Structures are given as structure tokens and as C-alpha cells.
């Protein structure tokens, strides 16, 4: 079967959950099918400036075809974004009173379609060559990754619904309420990362919700034999891994950590790893290491007191699964249904909603070694049981069964 995987950015140096998932799917599907990744020449998700050369290349044995970005993020898009929020703080959207959220949903569902599409296309990236290639090519199936960007929105418009699949990475955020997204998603089979995401699909688009099934994710449990000697703090430390960005809850985490330093004597350090997309204030006890390689990331996860993930906007949380696979407890934002689901089903961590709860949770982990060990064992067992690479590959292939190609449709 000839398959296309469509994603807005692609490459080993591109850091992002959707892009990481796209690369994993492309590699696994390429073992069984002819796979071509269709993407743009952009590296930066905020401007979508052209960075890579256009054309065909190969990454990890997978053909990758890049198309030039004709339009990045339009300056006028920020005004449309402000109109969408209408004064709401997007970073606190999940914590809003239910009545306020219902009023927001009613307002944006009344937006004219032209205004909705101005928001969707204005954020970029617009790559006309990619869409034209999709129209001309004879792919048996096309797998889109993430609902948010025009590469998926416009691509779904030109691919027959029977051939379209999408990993939507939906989470409870303001743009997801736009009805235009719901109409596009109905043109594909949704392959969701968690049961919480499937439930969200029905809540966001209650009238004729798109068809969705569970795909999940798959990781290999790390082995620590012959582990490289990586510098880790000598004293207990908390770890954040991911994009250092307001959208990931970093301002809230910094406020929580400041409260911890005031209350807990000799509070553990906070180590941040990942691409920095916002300035960090000078704050005692914080070490920002920037982007680290895979070995250092896993070593830090293994030795951390806990992995802290403050983002309320997650559809899976790959770094959580990686930390649990290392036997490390997790502390997550209670507004994220997906991450709370990991804590509950895995019995692998705690969820907090404010600074006081964060202080109490960390203080308990600091003094209770047995609890840390139990949460760590539970988390590793949970990942092995529900997120094994073998089981995930079987679910992925089931979405593209042999003999299910375009020829069979004729």
C-alpha cells in the first residue's frame, strides 16, 4: 500500500509531540508499506520561515518530501487570535468556570466560516505545493498529524474521506471549539492517543461527532546498562522536559516553584530541559539546560525526584510516558484530563491545581521514599502494559490493513 504522512514540520531536530509521533508512525509503517512523508521547509512553528531545502530527502530510511512555505504566520493573525479569546487567558482556559466556557463555546460557534478560516490559515504554514501534490498523487491512504494547521485542514479538503486518517492531538483549547475544525475532522477516521481524547471529540462536536478509535502510543522501556555518565544535580531535583513556553504552563510552574522555595527548607532544584520559547526570570534554585540529547534526557529522568508537567493542554504527554518508563513519579496539572488519566490508571503520580497543592505534593515526595518507589514501579508497569511498542504497532497497522488500498475501492 502507498501511504502519505502529512505533518507541518519534520526532522530529528524538530522538537514537538505531534512531530515526534509522526516520525514514529512513519518509521513503523515503512516496515510494511511504501511511505512518503509530506511536510514543509519550516523549522520554527511560530514564524514558519523556510529553513530546509525543498525537495526529496531521506530520514531514518523514510522518504521525506518538503514543500516551500508561501505564507507563514500573518501579522494580522494575532488580532484574530485576540478576537477569538475576547479577553480570556488561554493558558488558564481549562480552569475557567463551566458557565464561562459554555458562553465562549456558543460565541465561537457563531463565528462566520470566513473568519474561522482566517484564523486557521492566518497562523500558517501555507504550502500550496503540498496540497497540489496531494491532489495529483495516487496515495492509497493519507495520514495527517495534528488538527490545528492548514497542512491538515486544507489537505483533508482534497483527499477522499475514505482514504483519510488523522492523529488529531486534540486537547481542550480555544481553537478546537471552532466548528470548521469539526467539519474537516468528519472527513477522516480519527486515531486518538487516549480515551480522554476520544471523549473530548464528542464534547467539542456533539452534533454528528467524527468517527474516532484509540491508537495510543508506543515506547521502548529504556535499559540502563552501560549508561553514559551524565552530569546530574547531586541533591534531589524536579525535572521539566519539553518546550519552555507559556502555552506549556511554565509561568504557572515558576510561581508554584517560588511558593515551594518559601515553604520547604532545602527545596529540590528545578531543572528545565528543552527548547526555550520565552524568557526566564532570575529565580533561585532553577537550572535551565536548554536542548539536551536523548541520553542526557533519559539520565535526568531516571534520577529526578519527579517529572513535573504543568501544561493543561495535552493530548498524550510523551515525556510523561518516558519518565514513567524510567521509574520516575509524575506531578501534573489537574486541569489536563489526559495527564490525570495517566496518574489514575497508572497509579504513578499526583495532580495539582495551584501552588499550595504543588507544595504539599513535592513535600510529600521529598520525605516519603517508599511512596516515590511505589509510584515509580507502578508507572513503569503501566507503560509496559499499555504503551508497549509492539501493541502500538499492531494498532497502527490495523488502521491500514493489507488489501485496503485504492485499488480495492475501485
What is the residue-averaged pLDDT of the chain? 92
Put residue 117 in one of left, alpha, beta given phi > 0 → left and psi -120 to 50 → alpha: alpha
Q: Give the C-alpha separation, 32 to 404, whole Å.
A: 13
Q: Which fold has domain 237-387?
A: Rossmann fold (3.40.50)
Which of 95-99, 139-143, 279-283 is the most confident on average? 139-143
Q: Is the pLDDT reported for residue 408 higher than 70?
A: no
pLDDT in tens, 66-102: 999 999 999 999 999 999 999 988 877 877 888 998 9
Q: Is the pLDDT reported for residue 315 higher than 90?
A: no
CATH 3.40.50.2000 for domain 2-73+108-218+390-409: yes
pLDDT in tens, 146-187: 999 999 999 999 999 999 999 999 989 999 999 999 999 999
* Residue whose cell numbers read 525537495: 55
* Residue whose cell numbers read 479538503: 157
Burial, 272: exposed, middle or buried (Cβ in 10 Å; 0-12, 13-18, 19+)?
Answer: buried
Domain boundaries, the chain: 2-73+108-218+390-409, 237-387
pLDDT in tens, 372-384: 999 999 999 999 9
Q: Report CA-CA distances (Å) from 339 to 51, 174, 239, 345.
A: 33, 19, 16, 10
Burial, 249: exposed, middle or buried (Cβ in 10 Å; 0-12, 13-18, 19+)?
Answer: buried
> Average of pLDDT values for 328-355?
94
Please, what is the Cα angle at 336 between 302 and 326, to 5 degrees? 10
Q: Is the pLDDT reported for residue 208 higher than 90?
A: no
Do the two domains 2-73+108-218+390-409 and 237-387 of this chain adopt the same fold?
yes
pLDDT for 405 equals: 54
pLDDT bucket at 225, cuts 50 / 70 / 90 = low
* CA 7 to the chain's CA centroid: 13
CA neighbours closer than 13 Å in the CB half-sphere of residue 30: 18
157, 11 in Cβ contact below 8 A?
no
- Global model pTM greater than 0.75: yes
Amino acid at each position: 500500500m502507498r501511504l502519505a504522512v502529512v505533518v507541518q514540520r519534520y526532522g530529528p531536530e524538530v522538537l514537538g509531540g505531534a512531530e515526534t509521533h509522526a516520525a514514529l508512525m512513519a518509521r513503523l509503517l515503512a516496515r510494511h508499506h511504501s511511505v512518503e512523508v509530506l511536510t514543509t521547509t519550516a523549522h520554527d512553528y511560530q514564524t514558519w520561515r523556510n529553513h530546509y531545502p525543498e525537495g526529496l530527502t531521506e530520514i531514518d530510511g523514510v522518504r521525506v518530501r518538503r514543500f516551500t512555505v508561501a505564507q507563514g504566520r500573518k501579522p494580522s493573525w494575532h488580532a484574530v487570535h485576540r478576537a477569538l479569546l475576547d479577553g480570556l487567558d488561554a493558558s488558564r482556559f481549562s480552569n475557567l468556570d463551566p458557565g464561562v466556557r459554555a458562553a465562549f463555546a456558543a460565541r465561537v460557534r457563531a463565528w462566520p466560516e470566513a473568519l474561522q478560516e482566517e484564523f486557521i490559515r492566518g497562523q500558517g504554514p501555507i504550502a500550496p505545493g503540498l496540497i497540489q501534490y496531494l491532489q495529483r498523487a495516487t496515495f492509497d491512504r493519507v495520514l495527517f498529524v495534528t488538527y490545528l494547521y492548514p497542512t491538515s485542514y486544507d489537505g483533508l479538503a482534497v483527499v477522499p474521506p475514505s482514504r483519510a486518517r488523522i492523529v488529531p492531538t486534540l486537547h481542550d483549547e480555544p481553537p478546537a471549539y471552532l466548528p470548521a475544525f469539526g467539519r474537516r475532522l468528519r472527513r477522516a477516521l480519527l486515531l486518538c492517543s487516549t480515551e480522554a481524547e476520544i471523549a473530548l471529540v464528542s464534547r467539542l462536536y456533539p452534533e454528528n461527532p467524527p468517527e474516532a478509535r484509540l491508537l495510543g502510543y508506543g515506547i521502548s522501556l529504556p535499559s540502563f546498562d552501560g549508561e553514559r555518565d551524565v552530569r546530574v544535580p547531586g541533591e534531589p531535583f524536579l525535572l521539566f522536559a519539553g518546550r519552555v513556553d507559556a502555552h506549556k504552563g511554565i509561568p504557572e510552574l515558576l510561581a508554584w516553584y517560588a511558593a515551594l522555595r518559601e515553604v520547604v527548607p532545602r527545596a529540590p532544584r528545578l531543572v528545565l530541559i528543552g527548547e526555550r520559547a520565552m524568557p526566564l526570570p532570575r529565580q533561585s534554585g532553577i537550572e535551565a539546560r536548554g536542548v539536551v540529547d536523548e541520553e542526557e534526557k533519559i539520565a535526568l529522568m531516571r534520577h529526578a525526584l519527579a517529572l513535573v508537567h504543568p501544561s493543561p493542554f495535552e493530548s498524550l504527554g510523551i515525556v510523561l510516558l518516558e519518565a514513567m518508563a524510567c521509574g520516575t513519579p509524575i506531578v501534573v496539572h489537574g486541569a489536563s484530563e489526559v495527564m490525570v488519566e495517566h496518574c489514575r490508571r497508572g497509579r504513578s503520580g499526583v495532580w495539582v491545581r495551584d501552588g499550595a497543592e504543588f507544595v504539599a505534593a513535592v513535600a510529600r515526595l521529598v520525605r516519603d521514599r517508599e511512596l516515590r518507589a511505589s509510584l515509580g514501579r507502578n508507572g513503569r508497569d503501566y507503560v509496559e502494559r499499555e504503551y508497549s511498542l509492539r501493541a502500538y504497532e499492531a494498532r497502527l497497522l490495523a488502521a491500514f490493513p493489507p488489501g485496503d488500498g485504492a485499488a480495492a475501492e475501485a
